[in-house]
Amino acid sequence: MSIHSRLARLLLPFLAAACAFAAPLAQAADTSKPLKVGVRGGVDEEIWEVVTKVAKQNGLDVKVIVVSGNASPNEALNNGDLDANSFQHIPFLRDQIKQRGYKLAIAGNTLISPIAFYSKKYKSLESLPEGARVGIPNDPSNQTRALVILRDHGLITLRDGFDPYTGTASLEDVTSNPHKIKLVESTSLILAKSLEDVDTAAIVNTFAYQAGLIATRDGIAVEKKENNPYVNVIAVREQDRNAPWVPKLVAAYQSEEVRQFILNKYQGSVLPVF
């Protein structure tokens, strides 16, 4: 056997190992896919069209998935069907994690999307008649926001010590109701589609916008923007919170291009929080 043959036999295991090591790397690069980000239709979908373009310019491929109806973007994210989602404020996410055990984490702030009361019959909460039917969201965080607006306009009072920064309020926390309004609980989607069935309803901005309603233009009462705990966020799975793509995704959202789009497009009904 020649020296070249003996050398080839000695190197063969190392060459095979090197090829085995390189193969998965090559495969990972070939099968890389866009990041899937779940959003609701309307405002979030429109903003993420801009985010996607900014991310692409910075080498990050993002695919926006619009989650419609009663399907849960948090369930999809927790199950790994999405890489991130962007549709909810902190108290809602906190409640979902507590109630459903989701392993999700906050990646970065996005915007404040004010909730408002809308009506096809009345121009203000103060003009509501005795015993008016008032629709409010049935999820804990958005129900809290609606009850706070009703409290601030003098229609109800809430229990002493209530603080929206640290807890939620429900119908059980209403301590007085001098106008005997009837509080009707329902999902935000149904409230937006059946506004004519009540005297007024509190609708979160995502579903209001889909119905052609803008808080600052059409709302008869809008929640305060100052000292508002309901900041919307980008959420990821806990196992991905330190992944290298996460800060890149957040930076794409928190860019000047996106800030200017939000300010110009929504004229104050949606505000950037970055």
Higher pLDDT, 82 or 216: 82
Average pLDDT score, the chain: 88
AA letter at 36: K
Contact call for residues 250 and 86 (beta carbons, < 8 A): no
Contact call for residues 65 and 82 (beta carbons, < 8 A): yes
The residues pairing with 128 across neighbouring beta strands, listed in sequence order, are none
Q: Which of the four pLDDT bands, split at 50, 70 and 90, describes residue 118?
A: very high
Question: Which SS3 state, helix, strand or coil, does residue 216 take?
Answer: helix
Whole-prediction pTM value?
Answer: 0.69
CA 252 – CA 266 distance, rounded (Å): 19
Ramachandran sector of residue 112 (left: φ over 0; alpha: ψ -120 to 50; beta: rest)? beta
User: What pLDDT was estimated at residue 8?
Assistant: 41
CA 151 – CA 203 distance, rounded (Å): 16
Kindly report the CA angle at 140 between 139 and 146, in degrees rounded to 5? Answer: 90
CA 191 – CA 219 distance, rounded (Å): 14
- Which tens digit of pLDDT belongs to each residue from 224-267? 877 788 899 999 999 999 999 999 999 999 999 999 999 999 88
Sole residue written with tokens 């003996």: 6
User: What pLDDT was estimated at residue 75?
Assistant: 98
Ramachandran sector of residue 31 (left: φ over 0; alpha: ψ -120 to 50; beta: rest)? alpha
- Which tens digit of pLDDT belongs to each residue from 7-28? 344 334 433 343 333 333 333 3
Sole residue written with tokens 């890149």: 248
Contact call for residues 39 and 67 (beta carbons, < 8 A): yes
56 φ, ψ (degrees, to nearest 5): -60, -40
| Residues found in the chain | 274
User: What pLDDT was estimated at residue 216?
Assistant: 84
User: What pLDDT was estimated at residue 6?
Assistant: 40
Contact call for residues 151 and 134 (beta carbons, < 8 A): no
Which stretches within the chain are classed as H helix?
3-30, 43-57, 73-78, 90-100, 140-152, 188-193, 205-210, 215-218, 245-253, 256-266
Q: DSSP E strands: which ranges in 113-243?
A: 116-118, 133-137, 157-158, 174-176, 182-186, 200-203, 221-222, 231-237
Sign for the CA dihedral angle at 220, 142, 229, 109 comes to negative
